[in-house]
Structure formats: C-alpha cells, structure tokens
Structure 1
Amino acid sequence: MAIKRSYGQYCGLARALDVVGNRWSLLIVRELLRGPARYGQLQEGLPGISTNLLTDRLRELEEAGVIRRQLDTDSNGIAYALTPWGSELRGAVAALVNWSTPLMVSGPGGDSVRTHWLVVALESLLDGKRAEVPATVGVEVDGTTLTVRVDETGTHVALDVDGQHQTVLRAEPTVVLGLASGMLTVEQAIAAGGLRGDKQDLTTVFGAD
C-alpha cells in the first residue's frame, strides 16, 4: 500500500490517519456505509467537494484498499463500494458520531443537511439497542422518510421505499438526533415535531432501555 503523505509514526492511529485522515475521506466512507454509490451520487451526498478532489480521494482510498470499483447493475456504469476491510471503519465512524453529540446541540445553522446522513447517525446512536417484540417507525425529515426498526438482532435504519408506516414521527434533524442520543425524551420529541400512530412504537425504538 503506497501512502503519498505520512505522519511517519509507527503507531496504529497515525497509520490509520495516513489512509483516512485526509479531508473528505471519512465522509466518503460515510456515504458508502449505506451501500455502493456512483460518482454522481457521491457528489450529491458531499456538498462542497470539488470534482477534482472527489476523484483524488476516491483514487487514494482505492489504492489503499479501502474501497473498490464494481459494476452498477442499474446503469451498467461504475459504482464504488467499501471493501471488507473498509467496512470495518463502521465502528470508528459510529464512535465519532456518538462523540459528536455536544457539537450537534446548536443545530445546523448554515451548514448543509441531507436526510440520508441520518441513516449512519441513527445506526450509531442506537447501536446495541434490542427489542424482544420488534417495533418499526418512520422518521420523516424534510419530506424524506427513514425506516427505523429495532428487533432482537439490533437496530436497522434505511431510506424508506414505500412510505407505509403505521407510526411516523415528523421532526427536524436536531430533534431526531436529540431523541436518538437520549438528550430528548419521546414526549419532548413529539411536542417539538408531530406523531402519527402509536407512541409505544416510538418508545420501543427510541426510549431508554
């Protein structure tokens, strides 16, 4: 594995940062944790990145063995995907998401927001949650709905396809993140947003264990 720039330290953290410490690299990983994506999809999910820089970062991550190219069956074009080794970054990304909670309290301000970023955030914040009786809720943010399901295997989050949920919480990203992090109660989240359906479903998914 050839690293163009290196901290030159025989330390696991330093060598990991040699690979994914460049600006935008971990955000590319965040996008690919949801699944393979085409170049245009990555660009859409990374507002502010230039085409040249995205190309450079993709090449660096591919050369390092973090991502790989594969055929996109929908377009017959090229898609990028995490390698098995790259997928192991999920834990590191989750740890950073959880660590960031105090930084998110102030809200987005003028920063860009994409609802699909909540997929990785909610998986991270709700990691370890289990439910013997499964529960599923929809979380609607800016007209886009996420499916959040908790069962005996853990928490599963995905962008909604059909929009058919008996229980749906409609709220701003700050409220959703506050609820998932435990900084807001279910009652506070409902008051700040709106709930259609069964409050118990929301409590099972987001409430304290």
Structure 2
Amino acid sequence: MSRDYGQYCGLARSLDVVGDRWNLLIVRQLLVAPARYRELQDGLPGIATNLLTDRLRDLETAGVLQRRLSTEGNATTYALTEWGAQLREPIEGLIRWSTPLMIRGAQGDDFRAEWLLLALPAVLAGHKPTRSATVGIDIDGDVIQLRSTRSGVVVSLPDGREFDASLRTDAQIALGLATGLLTLDDVAAQIDVEGDRTAVQAVFAR
C-alpha cells in the first residue's frame, strides 16, 4: 500500500515525509541537539527499537536528517539537515497551539525536562522582558536557563552564568507561567523562588 496521499498539495506532501507516527517527535529531539541512537531512544519513551530504526531510515532517505560520525569515538550521531531544521517553525506553532491540551497536566504521561528547551522558546516567542535577568528553572533536579534580553528570552541549558533567581517548580506551572495563563501570585504556594523574585517576573513578563 502506498504511504503517500497522492495529492499535489504542500500539506499532503509534507505529511508524506513527517506525518508518520513518531517522525515529528524524532525531529523534536534533534532540534534540541544532535543525538546518538541510544539518546534518541531514551528521549522517546515508548518507541520500539525496530520502529525507531525504520523511522530514522525513512527520514534520512527523505533528506530530513543525516548520519555522521561522532567526534567521540566511532559512534554514529543523527542530526537534522538544513532543510530538516526548518521544521522548527511549524513545530513551535504546534506547541503554541497545544496550550489548551497542556492545561490539565501530565496525568501520568512521560516527561523529560529537555523537551522544555523547545517548548519554552515557542510559548515565550514575542515576549518583551521588562529587564535583563538570568533565571534557572529547576524541575525534578533538571535545570533550564532563561535569560531575558532586549530582543526576547533565550532558553538553554545552564552555561555558567550566575542566576539572578532560581525557581523550583513542575513542568505544568512553568508552562503556565510562560504562556501567561498563570502569574507568580497565582502559584505562590506551589513554587520555591530563591534570589530576586523580580527577575522571575521579568523573564515571564508579557
């Protein structure tokens, strides 16, 4: 059976390439960083080994990703091609669109803090911080760095900068603050802030 839609339509042809189950989540992982096979498997809880192998092969054949030798030993690393990396914009759009679906929380679903490296920039796009600040968000021991600048908020792993404040919370509240559905006052009893509270307010200001 043909796996394509057979339609001369940009959406249909895009879905021919990335519409299969797991494909966009593989791209999500590689938007965070190039990864080895085992790292991809760890970041995609629930995927079968043979299915991951098949999806990687299909995405490579389509030109979305490429294999290269890691600088550490002879391990193979998977990375997006320049064309594949252009999926960041539509994926960030889907993340923003998902906001009503995320309000109810994880409800037992798997969660990896690294997924916030893609989700937070998506929902913070267009924010105009009220001041420069660097804030660490600690979620179950994993720390994500948010740095407000004149042009917006930069989200990354900690890069050695000193934090103006640290916020300990869970993913649902962090996303709620980033989307503006929650304020610090709303969740005061559910978060732990160390340092300059106004720095946290600046990062999440809309």
* Interval of TM-score (by shorter of Structure 1 and Structure 2): over 0.9
State the partner residue of 2:186: 188
State the partner residue of 1:159: 157
Write out per-residue CA displacement over residues 30-88 of structure 1, whole angstroms, 9 at most, x where no aligned residue.
10111211101000000000110000110111100110111211343110111111111
The CA distance in 2 between the partners of 1:14 and 1:149, in whole Å, is: 38
The CA distance in 1 between the partners of 2:18 and 2:40, in whole Å, is: 17
One of 45, 49, 52 as aligned partner of 2:50: 52
State the partner residue of 1:129: 127
Matches within 5 A, 1:72-91: 72-91=70-89
SS at match of 2:59: helix
One of 106, 115, 118 as aligned partner of 2:116: 118
Q: Which runs of 5+ in 2 are unaligned?
A: none
Q: Normalising by structure 2, report the TM-score.
A: 0.93
Q: CA deviation at 1:132?
A: 7.4
The CA distance in 2 between the partners of 1:92 and 1:105, in whole Å, is: 21
The CA distance in 2 between the partners of 1:45 and 1:73, in whole Å, is: 21
The CA distance in 2 between the partners of 1:153 and 1:62, in whole Å, is: 35
One of 172, 175, 181 as aligned partner of 1:174: 172
2:167 alignment partner AA? L
For the pair 1:204 / 2:202, whether they are aligned, the reply is: yes
Q: CA deviation at 1:187?
A: 2.1
For the pair 1:42 / 2:53, whether they are aligned, the reply is: no
The number of aligned residues is 205
Q: CA deviation at 1:138?
A: 0.2
Q: RMSD over aligned Cα, in angstroms?
A: 1.6
One of 80, 100, 106 as aligned partner of 1:102: 100
For the Cα contact (< 8 Å) 2:134–2:145, is it kept in 1? yes
SS at match of 1:60: helix
Q: Normalising by structure 1, report the TM-score.
A: 0.92
State the partner residue of 1:33: 31
SS at match of 1:111: coil
For the Cα contact (< 8 Å) 2:140–2:170, is it kept in 1? yes
Q: CA deviation at 1:161?
A: 5.6
The CA distance in 2 between the partners of 1:193 and 1:75, in whole Å, is: 42
The CA distance in 2 between the partners of 1:74 and 1:153, in whole Å, is: 36
2:184 alignment partner AA? V
